[in-house]
Every structure is written in structure tokens, then in C-alpha cells.
Structure 1
Amino acid sequence: MPRLPRPPGSSTLRPGAVALGRPDPGPDLNSPEGLIRAARDWLGAGDDQRARLALDRALALRPRAAEALLLRGLVDQRRGDLAAAAEWFRRAIRARKDFADAHLNLGSCLIGLGQTEEALRQFGRAVALAPGMALAHLNLAQALLDQGDLGRARSAIDRARALAPDALPILLARARILAAQEDYEAAGAAWEDCVARAPGDVLVLNDAANFLLEDNRVEDSLALYRRAVALAPTSQEVRKNLIRALMTTGALDEAEAEAVGWLGTQGEDPRFRRLLGDVLVRAGRFPEARSAYVAAWDALPEDDNIPLGLTATGKMKSGEALGDRILERWTAQGAAGVVSADIAYAAGKVLDDRQDYDGAFAAFAQANRLKAADHPFDADAHDRFVEAVSTVFTPALFERFAGLGSPSETPVLVVGLPRSGTTLVEQIIASHPQAAGAGELTHVSRFEHSLPWRVGEAGRRGYPACVAGLDGAILDRFTAHYLHELTRIGPKARRVVDKLPNNFLRLGLFALAFPKARIIHCRRDLVDTCLSLYFQSFAGGHEYRHDLVSLGRYARAYLAMMAHWRRVLPLPMLEVDYADVVADQEKASRTMLEFLGLAWDEVVLRFHKREATVATASRWQVRQPIYATSVARWRRYEQHLSPLLLSLEGKKPSKG
């Protein structure tokens, strides 16, 4: 969810640690000192033009007046000319080398100019010169956060907080740093503190709600989004975030009402029309969704995410105007030498629908090259992680923790590689009257990521080594939170399916938390699965899929991980082959229901008619009856897949 930018001057702490007062009607405008004093007052009153004139006169009289140079930089900084402002601040530093305010403001300009390394040096210099200046520590912390240096960022923000414990900007930055460190319990408390201190601040409410939604605290997040909307009913971003949150939680009727209500009261807005399309796709109302997307695209033809959304509404066979329009845009961008990943993915989908397999592969390959540039994947690090998990989760570990965790049999984890049939399996089970589908919950992954902070000293070794520090109280807090969400989703369900595919990496941790739960492992032809991953545009993550060799290595690591769980996992696990479900849906469905202790009900054979939200990339497919066209699909693309096939065998492609 987008954070809302804080308007300039809205913070009690901001770049420019100069105290600006009110205008004094009687300064001496014939001396540099008087002109500087007057300029300071005029800046404080917002009269930048008069301040600039006074400062120019002061500098004409005294060119190396450090304070005048600083204030002159503030004038340019406030009007958005960061390059000019930075030069004024550099001149101020040359005039007075120990001028902490100038170092601080120069650092702020450099952040805006994208020169983070140099900005860090300037903030560090400001801190060294003025260790009691809270703003200097705050800016240093924020720059370190931007750099991903989270440990130093936390130290810097803690020093800022010690100097100004009630300053809201410091508390907000601290909450964001704690969340970035995956110290989710501390971050949650920090966000609650921010909301308590600023209950009427729309920006605080929005950003706190973003965190709470990511932390799976659904009711709390929606309450804050609604408060923010009530305070700022005409704010587009706040309303969009509320709608996206409602979509995430499956409240599609309310999400649709919010989008339609905005369009009815604020006038035609293509971005909300596009958002309405997203809501309708999740609800399975594909013709209406297509109409919404088309209206949005007509108004915003430069937004390539809209045609990408259109491809989720169904196939676009030869001769269909929308498909032609997508291909024309892709071709035009190619001729101009600037292609977006979104339009390349959309073109690939259209060409695949039209059975132009060479053209489709070229488009998908282009999309992945564009994505790979910004989303690198470290296959060696991932292999080491899988090996470490295998080393930690042993029969001896499970025996040591026997008796802990929740006795609940409600959770069912459906795992596997993405695009392996996990959504199909979830929808079949969730169609049963005594079951429910939760979609892709992040509770288990967030528990894994936050575990080093939860276990105290043992957490210094990171995950998975820190599992040794687990105790019953830590597990009980997690299981209570998780079961609360499952109960919200399926109040009367005996089984609730959580189908986040990459939970295959966390089955050991899940087994410690829920020793009586069930696991269903979805398998599909590995090459078909990898090809589908390569062709799919995900909202985030899955960096491994942008290169065929890395994709093959990730798939081999997955096989190794699952082989380990088969040897050591104390939970019952059912293996479900996608091809078997396609070949005989009833037989596969009976097997799954029997495994879960649910009586047979033929309603599960009509899963595609079920009215429920589907939030994954398979949302169009699962609204259709089961079809076999995706089995051995990779054969259509075989001539392009040598790097993947060799990687799956553990071989390196030839450099030629």
C-alpha cells in the first residue's frame, strides 16, 4: 500500500534546523546583520521573495556570511531547486566548516538529488558537529534506512528519540525502521503509539493502517483506513488504500461500493475505474471488469498496467480489437526503443492466446529481462538457506518441542511452487460446506521473519538457527493470532486452507506451531510450472523467475526442500498431482476430502461456480471448469527452453 507523502512544513522537525521567527518591522536593512535578521523573519512568515532580496543584498555586502548563505539555500530548497540549494549550502560550509545546519541541509538536498552516499557523509558530519541535534540523527536514520543499513538506522533513530522523545517524525521513522528490520511486535507497538499521539493525522492513520494490514491485523487496519477516509473524504490515495485493503480481505461488495461511490461523487476518474476493474476481476465478473479497464485505458493510454489487467479478463483470440491494441502498443514501444515490462507481459499473453508461441516467448523474455535488471536473485544464498533449514529441522528437534503448539486441526497448508495448482486445490476444498479458503496468508512467513527478534539472545544467529530459542509462549502468541484470522475467514469451518505456495520453505516451523494440522503438497510437471512462472507478472517477489537458469536452480532447491520434509516432518502430508486432478477431478477431490476428514459432497465438483474472491494470478482459470490444455504446455516452447532444461538437470548452459 502506498505511503502518503507528508506535505512540506507539516512536520515539527524538518530539514533546515534554523529557528525562523516572525517578521520584525524594525531591522536595520543597511547592515548584513540586519538584512539576515529580516530574511530569517520573512522566511518564517513564508515571504520567500522578500527574504531572497534581503539575502542577496546581505551577500553583496558580505559574500562569506555563512548564515546568509544557509538561508539563501533554504529559499531555493523551498522552491524545489535542490541543485542550486546544494551549492548555497556548500558555500556556507566553505565559509564555516563547523556549520552543522549547513551539512544537515546539504544532506537533505543530496537525498532529493539521489546522491545518497554523499548525503550520508553530510548527515554524519552534522551529527558529529551537533550531537545534541535530534533532527540530524533523524535525517541520518532515514538515509540509512533508504540505503538498507537497518542496524545503523535503528541506532541513529534511537539517539534521535532520546533527544526528542515526543517528536512525531522521529516516532514515525522509528516505526518504519522497526518494520523494515522485521521486528514486527515492536513495530506494531510503535505504530500504535504514533496513532495515539496523532489520532487526527490522516498520513499517520494511513501509514499505520498499511503496516497493520501487512501484519495481518485486518480489523485494526480497516478501522484506521475508514477513519482516514472520514477525515479526508476527497483524498484519492487514502480511498484507494481502503479499497485495496477491502479487496485483500475479500470484502468485495464494500470495495465495489467505495469505488463506485467515488466515481459518483468525485466524477469520472480513470484510476478508480481501473481499480474497479481489479475488484470485478477478483469477483469473477470478467465482462464488467473488461468494460471498466477499457474505460480507464481510453482515458490513460500511457498506463501499461491497465492493458496488463485486461489480459486477466479472459483470452484474446485473433481479430479481437483489444488484443490488437495491446500488440500495437507493444510494437510502437519497441520501435521507440523504450518498452515497459507491463506491456511486454500483456503482449506475451495475447500472443500465447493466439498460438503465436515464438512471438509470445520473445515478449515474455523481454518482460523478464526488464524485471531482472531491478530485481536480482542470489541463487547461491537461497541454496545455503535451504541447506540451513534442512540442518536445523531434524527429527531430534521435533522430538524436543513435542507437546508445544496448538492442538487445533483447523489449518490446512497448501504448498508447492507457484503455478503448480495450489489455487485449484484450495478452491475445490473451500467449496465444501465445512471448509473455507483463506487465500495466501502471510502469517507463517512473517512469523519466520520476526522470529530472531522474538527469541531474544538466540536471535543473534538469525533464522533458522534461532529456532532453538523457541518456547511455548512464543508459539502460543503466534497460533492465537493465526487462528483468530482463520476464524474470521471461516467462522464455522472445520478446515481453513492457507495456500501461500512458498510456505514449502516453512513446513518445519508450521509443524512446531500446529502439530495436528494437515499439509497438501501440489505437484505439477516441473517444466510446465517453471514456464508458467516465467510467463506470469506477479505483483512482487519471485525474483528467481526472471532468468531461466535461476528459475531452474530454484526449482531444484524446492525439490530438495520437499524431499527433506518427507523424511522428517511429523505432520501428515498429501501429495496431489495437477495432472491427476485434471484427468479425474472427482477421484482427486475424494482423496483430498478424505485426507482432511471431510465427508464427500459433490458440490466440490462445481468449484468454479463458487462465489468468492480469488486474489491470485489464477483468478480467471479457476472460474472455468477444469481443462487439460495446460498439461505439457511447455512442448509448444521447447525450442526456447534449453537453459531451463539444463538447469533443472543441474547442468550449466553452454556459453555459445
Structure 2
Amino acid sequence: MTLPPTDPMLLPSIRDGYRLLRQGHYQQAGRLAERLVATNNQNPHVLAFAAEACMACGDVRKSLRLIDQAAATTADKPFLLLKKARLLALDHQRQAFIDQLDHVLEHAQDNPILLWQSASLCHHNQLHQRAITLFEQASRLMDPPPGLLYELAMARHFRGDAPGAEQTLECLLQATPHAGPALYLRSTLKRQSRQDNHIRDLEQRLATLPAASTDRPGILYALAKELEDCGDHTRSFAALTLATREKRASYTYDIRSETAALAEIAEAYTQEQCGNGTGHTDTGPIFIVGMPRSGTTLCERLLCGTGQAVAAGELHIFGNELTRHTIAAASHTSQPNNASASLHIDFRALGQRYVHAARQIANGSKYFVDKLPGNFMFCGMIARALPQARIIHVTRDPLDNCYAIHKTQFFDGCGYACDLTELGDYFIAYRRLMDHWQNVMPGKILEVSYEDLVRDPRDQSRRMYAWCGLDWNDKALLPPPPSATFSTASAAQVREPIHQRSLTISRNHLQQLSGLEARLAAAGIHRHCQSHRPLQPGQATADMKSRTKPSPGATA
């Protein structure tokens, strides 16, 4: 799976290039790639790096040309064939990616590492059943490493096979008994009970944890989760406090730059800009947006329950394509920030590109649901690129929502989650931006309250169906079939019948969350009064109708 050795003098430059890519310095990486290729255009290491840099800079054709050129320079091609598959996936060329993966697997029948990396690529591109098959093939050819077993367990979890996932994790934990991510995943596979839990096991693993281990936060997150499931809220929050404190100390994050970027978006996208909907007029995309752990996965499940709309998952396509178009626009115009630069992109082309890529993942369905919560940042851009798209904003009691985020161990993004002050600041910035979108695009975004949804799922689901132009059927309220895939932190909970257990979950920790609650209140964000009283029949529908008017052309 490795390329032939290269000139040791080149390795530091190539490593610097990949470091620049990881840090998001794409233009610098691109310039370095050009210099290296100019003097080493037959070196597969140089060409492979240059292909990555070109893809990051938005030059897809050159990226694929360079990776083909790299493959032509060496007989040891499987790694480069796999890299091309990855580049095609990054460019959202779904069918070309699958075809290239088939080409890779022609070389992989007896190569467990190639099978593993192919499986990992499938796993990260929502081909979970194929990933499971390839992980299993690789495992039969070698003593499976912990990383392979963890990905296999995660893929089984997403596919709804909790027993299979737990069995895989137990194999992993025999080899690495203190693996924090594995122990946390084991705890989230199901709701623990006082009769059946891992609390004592987790405490024993903590007691024997090596001093220099980085697994402590993961074990503490798992312990906090299981203690909460069993009703021991005091000890749960104490474990959570240790987990979040230690995890926050392990990474760099700047909340001010994050919130400033959201404010810049609001400043750039005025009512005039958002109303300039000359984009692609496809009526099929449905965006569900909001904060993580706000109920977006439940909304997705309900909207896709009748089969008229297909769940495409949490797609990063719109944001990636917006970034790519913005980088290109910024190179031709001088703007104070990325938000201002994005006003100069071709929104119609962006919309067409998004729909083409997303619909491939949705198996060609006319209606498909993109459930990436962070797309709340792009509501104005979505309105310009896809003026007929439907946007649903899921809201939740602010303190409940923030606590649900804080107690979740995120492995990608959500840098604000571990510190309650940073979490409060981000939540405030999110709410200000959503208020801005409602003000500049009245009637364009349907607001759905999580509290109303779980108390009155039929009426609230009917509202969503009408908003999206779908025909209502009570089948939507049934639990999802065993074959349904949910690639989110809510993968276990969303398979259960709709319940109200998560309402007012923060009330068990009001003292510990008092500073956060005061911070939100100072910004005018208060708890939902309705989350503390029974909902009267028909109240949810009446309340929500008064909050949001239907967009032009929508049935409501």
C-alpha cells in the first residue's frame, strides 16, 4: 500500500504541504505544489500531494490529471487508485467514485490494508453496508487493529445493529482496554439501566488508566452518560465536568472568530441580497437546520417515513461548494471577508452543482432531505442558489439544547461544546443569525419546536409535509425499519418510538448551568415556557401557524 521510497530531501517539503492543507492554508499549499511539480514532475509523492492541493483550491480537472500522472510513474498503483477514489468523492462525483472504488478492489482481494482503507472510504461516504462487508473481509485476512474494529462498530451502529456493534467493541477492548472512543460508543448504543450498565466497569478502567493516556475524557463521557441514564445526576455532571475540561485543554479553538464569521454573514446578506433568487429552480431539496442535538434527526425520520422523500444524511456538499466558489470569487475581487466575497459567486451554478451531487446520494429521488444542522449558516445562500428549496429550522429549549450538546463527545467540529461560556456565546450568535434570516426572508423558513414535535407528532409532521409539498400518511409516525441508516449522534435514540424523556433534561442541573442560563438571558434568550406545562390539543398547530407564514408557492 506504500509508494516507492522518494528522495529524502523532498520529504520535509511534502510534509509541510500536507500540514498546510490540514490547517486550511490552501493557497499556500497550492503554490508549494506548483514549485515542487516544476522540478519533480515524475515523483509520485510530489504529484499525489499536488493533486490534493489542487482539489483543495477547487481545480478538480488538474487534481485528477495529476493523480493519473502519478499512477503512470509507478507500478505500485493501489494507493494512488484509492487516492483518486477519495478525490472523486471530495468532488461529489458519486458514480465515478463508486466505479473507481470497484477498480481499486480488483487489486485488494488479498490485501487487508487496502480493503480496510477502502472500507473506511465507504464508511465516510455513507456506503455503510458495503463498508461493513469490506471491514469484515479485511478482518479475516489479519489480526484486526483497534482502528478497524472501531470503524466497523460505528458502521454497524449507524445501520442499527447494536448487538453487532457491541460485540465488535468487546473484541477491541480486549486488546486496548482503555480505548476512550470505543467505551463512549459502547455506552451510547442503548439507554443503560440500573440493572444493566457498565458503570463499575468504567470506574475500574479509570482507576487503572495509565497516567499519560489521552483516553480519560472518552471514559469520563461514557461514565457521565451511563450515570445519567441510571438517574445519578449529581455524579453524572461531576464526571461530565472532568471530561469536558480535559478535552477542551487538548485542542485550540477561537470562539471569537467563529461568532464574528456568523455576524459577517448577517451583515453581508441583506434582504435585497437574499431576495435575489435567480438560482437553480429545482423543487426537491429539503434542508433541516438548527443546532446539534435539537431534534433535526427526528424531523428527518418523520419527513422520510412515507418514502416520498429520501434521507440523504448530513451532507457537507452545500458548504463545500460554497467555499470552493467563494475562493474562486475572492481571487478576482477584493472583499473584506469571505461572506462579502461569496456575494459575487454564480449562485445558479452552485445550486445546480449541489442538486446534482446530493441527488446521487439520494438515489435519484425527486425529494431529498439534507439534515446537516450547521447549514443554518447558509440559509441566505440557499435561498439564492435554490429559491424553491424548503428550509425547516428545528428549535429546542435553549438550556436543554445547550446541555445536550455539552454532554455529547463530538469528534469533528463543535469546538464550542466543551466550555459552557463558549457554548453560550456560540448559541447566542446562532440565534441572532437565525433571527436575521427570519427578518430578511419572511415566510421562507418553517420553524418547528422539538417540544411541540414530541408532544404532538401528528399535527407537527403534517405541517412539515404540507410545507414541503408532500402527501401526508400516518405511516410517517411509525418507527424506522431496521435497514434505515442514521449517521448521527442520535442514531440509537431516533430508532425508538417518539418519546418525551428528553424534555426539560437540563432541570437536573440548573445550579451547574446557572451561569449559562444567565448568559443566554442577558442576550434575550429565555427558556421555553411551554416545555414546563402540558400541551393542549391543537395548541402546537395554532402556535406554530402564528410564528411562520407559508412561503410563496408552498402548501401550508
TM-score by length of 2: 0.85
In the alignment, what sits opposite 1:530? Answer: 402
Which residue identity does 1:241 align to in structure 2? Q
1:347 aligns with 2:223: yes
Distance 1:515 1:324, change over 3 A: same
Q: Tell whether the 8 Å contact from 1:379 to 1:544 is kept in structure 2 after alignment.
A: yes
In the alignment, what sits opposite 1:619? Answer: 491
1:244 pairs, out of 120, 126, 131, with 120
In the alignment, what sits opposite 2:528? Answer: none
Larger relative helix fraction:
1
Residue 496 of structure 1 aligns to a residue in which SS? strand
1:212 pairs, out of 79, 88, 94, with 88
Distance 1:222 1:538, change over 3 A: farther
Describe the superposition over 1:321-355 as per-residue Cα deviations: whole angstroms up to 9, x where unpaired.
Answer: 64432232124339888752221211111111122
1:435 aligns with 2:435: no
Q: Tell whether the 8 Å contact from 1:407 to 1:516 is kept in structure 2 after alignment.
A: yes
Quote the offset at 1:637 in angstroms. 1.4
Residue 645 of structure 1 aligns to a residue in which SS? helix
Counterparts of 1:223 and 1:341, CA distance in 2: 40
Distance 1:233 1:363, change over 3 A: farther
Counterparts of 2:505 and 2:483, CA distance in 1: 29
Q: Tell whether the 8 Å contact from 1:345 to 1:535 is kept in structure 2 after alignment.
A: yes
In the alignment, what sits opposite 1:451? Answer: 325
In the alignment, what sits opposite 1:260? Answer: 136
Residue 198 of structure 1 aligns to a residue in which SS? helix
Counterparts of 2:285 and 2:486, CA distance in 1: 19
In the alignment, what sits opposite 1:58? Answer: none
Alignment of 1:452-467 (within 5 A): 452-455=326-329, 456-458=331-333, 461-467=336-342
Distance 1:452 1:537, change over 3 A: same
Quote the offset at 1:630 in angstroms. 0.6
Quote the offset at 1:318 in angstroms. 2.6
1:501 aligns with 2:376: no
Residue 288 of structure 1 aligns to a residue in which SS? helix
Counterparts of 1:203 and 1:347, CA distance in 2: 40
In the alignment, what sits opposite 2:243? Answer: 367
2:514 pairs, out of 642, 647, 653, with 642
1:562 pairs, out of 434, 441, 445, with 434
In the alignment, what sits opposite 2:459? Answer: 587
Quote the offset at 1:396 in angstroms. 1.9
In the alignment, what sits opposite 1:572? Answer: 444
Quote the offset at 1:649 in angstroms. 2.8
Describe the superposition over 1:223-270 as per-residue Cα deviations: whole angstroms up to 9, x where unpaired.
Answer: 334433432444444323322333344433323322333334446666
Counterparts of 1:338 and 1:412, CA distance in 2: 40
Quote the offset at 1:360 in angstroms. 1.5
Q: Tell whether the 8 Å contact from 1:452 to 1:458 is kept in structure 2 after alignment.
A: no
Describe the superposition over 1:144-165 as per-residue Cα deviations: whole angstroms up to 9, x where unpaired.
Answer: 6577655444333322222334
Distance 1:449 1:365, change over 3 A: farther
Q: Tell whether the 8 Å contact from 1:459 to 1:469 is kept in structure 2 after alignment.
A: no
1:15 aligns with 2:24: no
In the alignment, what sits opposite 2:164? Answer: 288
2:343 pairs, out of 468, 472, 476, with 468
Alignment of 1:294-309 (within 5 A): 294-309=170-185
Which residue identity does 1:198 align to in structure 2? A
Alignment of 1:162-201 (within 5 A): 162-179=38-55, 182-183=56-57, 185-186=58-59, 189-198=62-71, 201=77
Describe the superposition over 1:383-433 as per-residue Cα deviations: whole angstroms up to 9, x where unpaired.
Answer: 32122111111122234x34x211111001100001000000001101122
Quote the offset at 1:561 in angstroms. 0.3
Quote the offset at 1:491 in angstroms. 4.3
Distance 1:365 1:209, change over 3 A: farther
Q: Tell whether the 8 Å contact from 1:188 to 1:212 is kept in structure 2 after alignment.
A: no
1:379 aligns with 2:260: no
Which residue identity does 1:328 align to in structure 2? Q
Which residue identity does 2:308 align to in structure 1? Q
Residue 249 of structure 2 aligns to a residue in which SS? helix
Quote the offset at 1:375 in angstroms. 2.8
Describe the superposition over 1:494-533 as per-residue Cα deviations: whole angstroms up to 9, x where unpaired.
Answer: 4211010011001111111101111000000011111111
In the alignment, what sits opposite 1:24? Answer: none
Counterparts of 2:14 and 2:171, CA distance in 1: 45
Alignment of 1:72-87 (within 5 A): none
Describe the superposition over 1:452-484 as per-residue Cα deviations: whole angstroms up to 9, x where unpaired.
Answer: 33324126644111123223xxx3443333222
Which residue identity does 2:387 align to in structure 1? P
1:482 pairs, out of 336, 349, 354, with 354
In the alignment, what sits opposite 1:105? Answer: none
Q: Tell whether the 8 Å contact from 1:226 to 1:242 is kept in structure 2 after alignment.
A: no
Quote the offset at 1:442 in angstroms. 0.5
Describe the superposition over 1:16-53 as per-residue Cα deviations: whole angstroms up to 9, x where unpaired.
Answer: 48xxxxxxxxxxxxxxxxxxxxxxxxxxxxxxxxxxxx
Distance 1:583 1:138, change over 3 A: closer
Residue 446 of structure 2 aligns to a residue in which SS? strand
In the alignment, what sits opposite 2:529? Answer: none
Quote the offset at 1:208 in angstroms. 3.3
Structure 1, unaligned runs of 5 or more:
18-107, 112-136, 652-656
In the alignment, what sits opposite 1:540? Answer: 412
Q: Tell whether the 8 Å contact from 1:141 to 1:156 is kept in structure 2 after alignment.
A: yes
Quote the offset at 1:571 in angstroms. 6.4
Q: Tell whether the 8 Å contact from 2:240 to 2:407 is kept in structure 1 after alignment.
A: yes
Counterparts of 1:158 and 1:530, CA distance in 2: 45
Residue 209 of structure 2 aligns to a residue in which SS? helix
Residue 636 of structure 1 aligns to a residue in which SS? helix
In the alignment, what sits opposite 1:20? Answer: none
Q: Tell whether the 8 Å contact from 1:452 to 1:466 is kept in structure 2 after alignment.
A: yes
Residue 469 of structure 1 aligns to a residue in which SS? coil
Q: Which has the higher contact order (CA 8 A, sep 6+)?
A: 2
Q: Tell whether the 8 Å contact from 2:310 to 2:365 is kept in structure 1 after alignment.
A: yes
User: What is the aligned-residue RMSD (CA, Å)?
Assistant: 2.8
In the alignment, what sits opposite 2:541? Answer: none
1:515 aligns with 2:391: no
Greater Cα radius of gyration, structure 1 or 2: 1
1:228 aligns with 2:104: yes
Counterparts of 2:491 and 2:32, CA distance in 1: 45
Counterparts of 1:468 and 1:347, CA distance in 2: 47
In the comparison of the two structures, how many residue pairs are matched? 519
- Percent identity reads 25
In the alignment, what sits opposite 1:318? Answer: 194
